Amino acid sequence: MIKPRWCPKLFVLTICLAALVSAPASAQRGWVRDGGWVAAQVGYGWASWSCLTCGPARAQGSWTGGYSAGGTVNPHLLIGGEFNIWGLSTPVRSVGKIADHMCGLAAEVLVYPHASGPFFVKAGAGISAVGDDSAGTLGVGPAFVAGLGLDSQLSWRVSVTPVVTMYSGSLGTLRDPRSRASRAYLWNQRIVAFGLAITAQDRRPGWKKV
């Protein structure tokens, strides 16, 4: 099993290898983004949180997953929606038994500095949630998402995409959805996830330099 402290180093190495593979390919083929796109990813992420009654907690590492989809405004700009989830096999016990999963859902924009280049940055806004099914804890609140990635083309339509994503949410009061009893106050959470996605994106030839 990969130890959590090695995950950022592995991600950086993956980014570098993807850049070496994708840069010459993009320059030769000149494919530019066009039409719809969809991506599914898995990875490893760290969640941290704080609340009025528990204070800041040490970040917990666990596996993450998610998917996203959208359309192309132009070769430099994509829009879409993204869902990510982070989960623990052992629930967080900072305030009783509070959380065994956190997730985020956001509308986002992806910006590519070069029309046929692999590098992109993304940002968006949406909602973030935390909960524990067995303990009956639930919280939902506004969130912001930011990240960056690198598309390494396998074909004119499919690419492998190393990506790092950060969700930051302010959920306020966590309650038991059955009794409405308060479980924690002023809850804030953040997820930083390193992932590898398979992206399907319509493309067209674009030999003209943009």
Report pLDDT digits (tens) over 74-133: 989 999 999 988 876 554 544 445 556 788 899 999 999 988 788 999 999 999 888 766
Domains of the chain and CATH, by start: 4-201 (2.40.160.20)
Note the pLDDT of residue 209.
Answer: 44
Count Cβ atoms below 10 Å from residue 178 Cβ, excluding itself: 8
C-alpha to C-alpha distance for 129 and 42, rounded to whole angstroms: 19
Pairing of strands 99-111, 119-132: antiparallel
**Spatial separation of the C-alpha atoms in residues 143 and 164, rounded to whole Å:** 17
C-alpha closest to that of 128 among 115, 147, 143, 107:
143
Percentage above 90 pLDDT, the chain? 33
CB of 7 closer than 8 Å to CB of 194: yes
pLDDT at 150 over 60: yes
Which segments within 59-181 are labelled E, that is strand? Answer: 60-74, 77-92, 99-111, 119-132, 137-150, 152-153, 158-175
Tell me what percent of the residues of the chain surpass a pLDDT of 70. Answer: 73
In angstroms, the CA 42 to CA 111 distance is 22
- Residue 67 near residue 83, CB atoms below 8 Å: yes
Residue-level pLDDT at 52: 80
pTM recorded for the entire structure: 0.75
CA distance 151 to 202: 13
Residue 15: closest CA among 154, 136, 140, 161: 161
Helix, strand, coil percent values for the chain (each to nearest 5): 10, 65, 25
